[in-house]
Amino acid sequence: MKVEVDGQSCLGKTFPGQSLLTWLRAAGRTAPKLGCGTGDCGACTVLLEGAAVHACLTPAQRAADRPVQTLAQLAEGSAGVERWHAAQAFQCGYCTAGFLTTLAATPPGQVDNALKGNLCRCTGYAAIADAIEGHSRLADHPDCPPDRHGPALLAGRSSYTADIIPAEALHLAVWRAPWAHARINSIDTSRAEAMPGVVAIFTPADTPDVRYSSGCHALPERDPPDLRMLDGEIRFTGQRVAAVVAETPAQARAALTALLIDATPQPAVTTLAEAKRGEVPVHPTAPDAAPNVIASVNTASAAWDAPADAHSPPVIETRHFRTHRAQHVHLEPHVTWAVPRDGGLDLTSSTQVPFLVQAKLAALLQLPMEKIRVRKPRVGGGFGNKQEMLTEDLVAWAALRLQRPVVWEFTREEEFIATTTRHPMELTTQVSFDEYGKWNRLGLTAEADTGAYGNHASGVLHCALFEGLAPYRFAAKKAVGQAYYTLTVPAGAYRGYGGAQGVFAVASTVEALAHAAGEHPLDFRKTHLVRPGDPLTIGAESAAQHELSPNALEMCLARVKAWSEGGDRVEPPSGPEWKTGTGFAVGLITAGPGPMHRSSATVTWEESGRLTLRSGAADVGTGTDTLLATIAAEVTGLPAERIDVITADTGDTPYDAGSFASATASVAGEAVRRACRSLIETLFASTPPNWDDAPRHPTERRTARATFAPDRTSVSFAVQGMRVAVDTETGQIRVLESMTALDAGRVLHPVAARGQVEGAIMMALGWTLWEDLQIAPDGSVANPTLRRYRIPGWGDRIPMHIEFCERPDPLGPLGAKAIGELASNGVAPAVANAVRAAIGITARELPLTPWRVWEELTASA
Amino acid sequence: MDVAGLAQIKSDSPPHATAQALAGGTWLMSEPTAAKPTWIDLAGRGWDDVTDDGKHLALGAMISLSALPDHLARWPEASRLARAALAATAASSKVLCQATLGGNLGLALPFGVMNPLMTLWEARIEVQRGTGISPRHLAATALQTGDQTTALAADELVRRVHLAPDSMRGRGAVQHLRLNAASPPTLSVWVWQTDAAPERVRVVVSAGTPSPQTVLARSADEAAAGLSGIPFLTDNLGPAEYRRGILPVLLRRAWAQLESART
């Protein structure tokens, strides 16, 4: 078949049922991306004879002898691209080609309709709206360097993992279990082995009988080793059973259908309630352990445990809350490829944690670390879901066994049924009051459903309790929690890491107490929130040493209160049925808690008169490569354009724990700062450095290295307000606007920081209002497509007011501290509290769907 | 996305029971479908014909959804309602430019917009049967029989839609309730009042029901009474009880919107 692609004649074979997307990508035209494969995300948009189409929905043969244009051609001289650059309207950039290509064929005035089929998970659409309106964020911040990956990205030339797969790579596909719980009796591979192109088939009997956790963080002992590469014991619908490796993806998928697998289904445990009964153990547990409990917390302060006054025992109020599963929906699916090399392998992966993957693979494959090189190219978002080893183990195993390159790309359905989710939780707050009616005790209980495997169960449970309780300065506190196994898709790390669940319960409770006390909710909070010098406690435990910025939280509270008193900025829908209300929440995160995070950096003064910065930090689309260069530029005085950045390659960069816990800026950034200082001290006898006189001959002195492993943690706060309108007849909620004030230290890159906050708010709004990964009674995921699991789209964007209340942090690099997840956690309670203010009902369960609100309204009527 | 197990796509074959018709959208590339080894591509065979004799309008099955409002231009209110219907779909404008009238009717999705519209306008559906067999016609109300089921036999396809002036001259309104801006509606209520018989309004309920449900009524209350026994779906867009509960609200709002259009 011949297609004219970007003005060039392209020849290639096709097969019945092939989409134009895979045909183009096989032909090396990688500007259109695979996001969903179902025409829902728009990442694959191309122009076919000038009309924008989803390439994934277009049969390839319909493009025969017709012109196709991709961003690679459309970008040349495009005013839209210029505006996209000026507004920095991208983060991970995986959606960018789809947006720009769609807009290239969109007449003015039809943008809203045109963008209905384009999804962005990172930006919250605010920067995209700025780009379309011609507003330049770079002009607002002339000292802010543009993202250094922008030019390639906006030209359709960026290299994600799937864009650079070796042509000779074999393709891996996996047969996934249709049962929630079963034992595999036999796998007959003979028919599949005889199919065209099949190179190998792996079953549980072929793979190492080693158990490990897919969860990656610097404290691996926290996660139970409960996972096998391929397992004959099935614990969730979607679990890997067997793998086929074939010459082409289509051949691999076709062979899956020829596997004959016999299994005996077992009783399923698909809910928290069933798991708690313990009648069906998901995993073997120690004799003295409660069945299905994988993590526990039980801590109370001495004041909580103090004997009650027999004459006036405390009256304890309890409130119950429930949160739900969510999927990360990074637009780039998981993808990994590996090339065998000298008894080891080079592995390229869309990961947040290349160094932790390297260590896990070394242990699993029993190879020396230096035999495994892991590198991360451009990544299309992660949000915690790529803080897991979900593809790398099997790809590495297959490549080593076959001694050929092997690639494995997840489909969108696999993302939903076989990666990880946010932990659903049931939470209970407990408060009591002294004899004067003053609130004096706070307790939080959390029960988490971690699904079939325990990756991140302990950490997430702990964070839910910590981030719920720690912001408040009571002596009497108690935290109780358990995480339970169920036979469902595993939960894992998700932006906020448990904080969203804990904050939802506590911030909703605090707002109710404020209303009961007749105080403005922010004034009420001010009385009870921690202050500099206070410990951060959840019971008898307190956090590692930490620093609170003086006055910053107070500033944030004042800013949001002023916003709330400023009157209506956005008109609610007209009609008496619409009621409006404003709600609030306060959340915190700690960044870089030692010894969770460690990062090293080197800086090299090159003979060319440029500085090369090497860091293991993984930019997953958040702009940290640019941020690290910004830090280096400020410390050295060199312009950012003279600094080259190499990151996230275990073979070429020093160690970094990875991109999680919002720690890259504060930990990797501090390592970079120290390395730069060290280089300056080495090269120059006196400061300020004069780089034009710096020696350029190769000497030992020209490279400096530094490592940072914080023993204290900085604390960031977000104070959030949401204004909503609620339709009292249907229960529908419209979020009118949000206000977020952040105590995030000194903001080193205001454009990127704002983008992080906007994206976090919009992602959290989706979880609050409608995103809900549903489990069917048989344990399977009921809505495993973007058509049925809706994430916020262009039409859902809201006005977001954002203020950074800057107080330089004493610990972070140049006064900076964490931002990435900060704005996530307060959104749900702020919306729920706004609904309460509007119509007087208390939302105890998420998501706040119209029918849930309507049921409450109907019941209260 | 790539479809496994497909043997051929033919463009010169008539529809037959063992083949799957491929229209424009294409839904077949995005949702698992019953495995048929052959697809018959309907593009390029002239089924996007439009016949307008000044009275009746016949629309070929392969006209794109996005073109529908323009084809209805001589009935401005119908054209406006068609435009509103398209804006309410979950599909992107990219899909709407490729998806077809016949494809949308034949898919018979609960949240599809062509079946309720054609029911509202009392359209006649012309059905193409096997080679050499004369077409048959059926009322639009009879086409969709349930969630993704129709009255079409395996070798039948929608060929044309016929619209009559008496049904098209009038005014209408539609009310949707959605989870978010681009989700399919949880419930849709359509109303259409003709100039020829303004005393009774045709009401169609869709999206929350397996197939469009219709009634003629003089008021929103009468419509609610007439629709009180209809079946509702429970799915990820909402439970049946909720849909049943808000139907009177959307009916009242649709009626008010219709009144507003009339004045």
pLDDT digits (tens, 9 = 90+) for A240-280: 999 999 999 999 999 999 999 999 999 999 999 999 999 99
Q: Which of B1, B5, B8 sits opposite A38 (nearest CB)?
A: B1
Chain B contact set for A39 (CB, 8 A): 25, 29-30, 91-92, 94-95
CB-CB under 8 Å, B41 with A62? yes
Q: Which of these, A720, A746, A757, A761, lies nearest to A805 by C-alpha position?
A: A746
Please count the other Cβ atoms lying within 10 Å of the Cβ belonging to residue B230.
18
User: In chain B, what residues touch A796 (CB-CB under 8 Å)?
Assistant: 180-182
Nearest chain B Cα to A851, which residue?
B242
Whether residue A241 sits in one domain with residue A371: yes
Q: Which residues contact A91 (CB under 8 A, 6 or more apart)?
A: A122, A123, A381, A621, A622, A623, A755, A756, A759
| Interchain contact, A102 vs B180, CB within 8 Å | no
H, E, C per residue of B42-89: CCCCCCCCEEECCCCEEEECCCEHHHHHHHCCCCHHHHHHHHHHHHCC
Res. A662: pLDDT tops 80: yes
Q: Does A13 touch chain B (CB under 8 A)?
A: no
∠ CA A787-A758-A109, rounded to 5°? 65
Is the pLDDT at A825 greater than 90? The verdict is yes
Give SS3 for A457. Answer: helix
Contact B97 A118 (CB under 8 A): no
Domain stop point among A708, A743, A763: A708
Q: Nearest C-alpha of chain B: how many angstroms from A13?
A: 14
Looking at the fold, whether A685 and A661 belong to one and the same domain comes out as yes
Q: Residue type at B131? A: T
- Which two tokens mark A709? 């492993």
Q: How far away is chain B from the Cα of A110, in angstroms, using its nearest Cα? A: 9
Residues 16-35 of A with CB under 8 A from B: 16-19, 21-22
User: Is the pLDDT assigned to residue A544 strictly greater than 70?
Assistant: no
All structural domains of chain B with their residue ranges: 50-166, 172-262
One domain, residues A187 and A66: no
For B182, which of A61, A102, A793 is closest by C-beta distance?
A793
In this complex, which of B2, B25, B179 lies closest to A849 when CB atoms are compared?
Answer: B179
Can you tell me the mean pLDDT for B125-137? Answer: 90
pLDDT digit string (tens) for B12-47? 888 788 889 999 988 889 987 767 889 999 998 899
Flag whether A315 is in a domain. no
Closest chain B residue by Cα to residue A253: B4
Cα A232 from Cα A49, distance rounded (Å): 50
Q: A17–B179: do the CB atoms touch at under 8 Å?
A: no
Q: Which two tokens stand for residue A691?
A: 């780089």
Residue A68 pLDDT > 80? yes
- Minimum-distance CB partner of A788 among B1, B91, B236: B236
The pLDDT tens digits for A681-709 are 988 876 678 888 777 766 656 899 999 99
| pLDDT 10s digits, A278-328 | 999 999 877 788 999 999 999 999 988 887 776 666 778 999 999 999 999
Q: pLDDT tens for residues B42-97?
A: 998 899 999 999 889 999 999 999 999 999 999 999 999 999 999 888 888 999 99
d(CA A353, CA A358): 9
- Binned at pLDDT 50, 70 and 90, residue B246 comes out as very high
**Alpha-carbon span A329 to A379, nearest angstrom:** 13
Query: Does the beta-carbon distance from B182 to A796 stay under 8 Å?
Result: yes
Chain A residue whose CA is closest to B236: A788
- Read off the amino acid at residue A154: L
Residues of B in contact with A129 (CB under 8 A): none
- Is there a contact between B41 and A774 if contact means CB atoms under 8 Å apart? no
**pLDDT tens track for A169-179:** 999 999 999 99
**% of chain A beyond a pLDDT of 90:** 86
- From B140's Cα to the closest Cα of chain A, the distance in A is 27
CB within 8 Å: B26 and A788: no
Reported residue count of chain B is 263
Give the pLDDT mean for A387-400.
Answer: 98
Any idea which residue has 């390639």 for tokens? A152
Q: Which CATH class is domain B172-262?
A: alpha beta
Burial class (CB in 10 A: 0-12, 13-18, 19+), A362: middle
Distance between CA A211 and CA A454 in Å, rounded? 12
In a shared domain, residues A697 and A720:
no
Cα–Cα nearest to A628, from A607, A647, A606, A609: A647
A642 and A731 part of one domain: no
Residue B160 has pLDDT above 70, yes or no: yes
Q: Which residues contact A385 (CB under 8 A, 6 or more apart)?
A: A327, A328, A330, A334, A415, A419, A420, A492, A493, A494
Considering the domain architecture, whether residues A610 and A719 belong to the same structural domain is answered as no
Q: A768-799, pLDDT tens digit by residue? A: 999 999 999 999 999 999 999 999 999 999 99
Q: Does A382 touch chain B (CB under 8 A)?
A: no
Residue A545 has pLDDT above 90, yes or no: no
In angstroms, the Cα distances linking A763 to A121, A615, A824 are 7, 28, 8
Q: Provide the β-strand partners of residue A482.
A: A296, A447
3-state secondary structure of A534: coil
Read off the tokens for A103. Answer: 């807009």
- The answer to whether B19 and B6 are in contact (CB under 8 A) is no
Asked whether residue A286 is assigned to any structural domain, the reply reads no
A626, containing H or E segment: helix A624-636
Amino acid at A156: G
Q: Helix A126-133 to helix A79-87 angle, to the nearest 10 degrees?
A: 130
Paired tokens of A517: 């006390």
Cβ proximity of A557 and A521 under 8 Å: no
What does the alpha-carbon distance between residue A427 and residue A502 come to, in Å, rounded to a whole number?
A: 8
A67: Cβ–Cβ under 8 A, 6 or more apart, which residues?
A3, A4, A5, A7, A48, A49, A50
Say what percent of chain B tops pLDDT 70. 100
Give the three-class secondary structure for A325: coil
Do both A338 and A189 map to the same domain?
Answer: yes
- H/E run at residue A742: strand A733-743
Query: For residue A160, which phi and psi values (nearest 5 degrees)?
Result: -85, 170
Chain B interface, Cβ < 8 Å to A: 1-9, 22, 25-26, 29-31, 39, 41, 43, 87, 90-95, 97-98, 177, 179-183, 186, 236, 238-239, 241-242, 245-246, 249-250
Say if A446 falls within a structural domain: no
State the nearest Cα–Cα gap between A16 and chain B, in angstroms. 5
Q: Domain with A644 in it: what CATH number?
A: 3.30.365.10
Which domain does A691 fall in, by range? 599-708
Give me the torsion for CA of A441, A450, A717, A530, rounded to 10°.
Answer: 20
From the list A16, A254, A794, the residue facing B9 with the nearest CB is A16
Q: Please, which residues have CB within 8 angstroms of residue A28's CB and are 6 or more apart in sequence?
A: none
* ipTM rounded to 2 decimals: 0.96
Per-residue burial over A534-562, b if 16 or more Cβ lie within 10 Å, else e, is eebbbbebbbeebbbbeebbebbbbbbbe
Judgement on whether residues A639 and A720 belong to the same structural domain of the protein: no
Residue A308 placed within a domain: no
CB contact under 8 A, A38 and B236: no
| Euclidean distance between the first and the last CA atom of chain A, given in angstroms as a whole number | 65
Residue A610 CB: number of other CB atoms within 10 A? 15
Residues A391 and A258 in one domain: yes
A175 and A260 belong to one structural domain: yes
Question: Cα separation of A20 and B69, whole Å?
Answer: 29
User: Chain centroid to CA A20: how far?
Assistant: 30
pLDDT at A701: 65
The answer to the question of residue A704 being in a domain is yes
Structural domain contains residue A306 = no
> Within this chain, do residues A580 and A660 fall inside the same structural domain, yes or no?
no
Residue A687: per-residue pLDDT: 65
- Measured distance CA(B114)–CA(A436) in Å, rounded: 65
In chain A, which among 77-106 make CB contacts under 8 A with chain B?
102, 106
Q: What pLDDT does A749 receive? A: 96
pLDDT of residue A533: 86
Query: How does the average pLDDT of chain A come out, rounded?
Result: 94
Last residue of a domain, one of A110, A138, A158: A158
And the tokens for A288? 């003295």
Residue A278 lies in a domain: no
Domain B50-166, second-level architecture: 2-Layer Sandwich (3.30)
Q: Is the domain of A25 the same as that of A137?
A: yes
The closest of A221, A29, A85, A126 to A760, measured between CA atoms, is: A126
pLDDT at A523 exceeding the cut of 70: yes
DSSP single-letter state for residue A186: E
Determine what percent of chain B falls in helix, strand and coil, rounding each to the nearest 5: 30, 30, 40
Instruction: Note the pLDDT of residue A24.
Output: 98
Higher pLDDT, A624 or A689: A624
For Cα atoms A374, A159, A70, give the angle at the middle one, nearest 5 degrees: 160
CB A583 within 8 A of CB A832: yes
d(CA B14, nearest CA chain A) in Å: 18
Measured CA angle at A47 (ends A43, A51), to 5 deg? 115
Does A444 fall in a domain? Answer: no
Question: Smallest Cβ distance to A253: which of B4, B30, B239?
Answer: B4
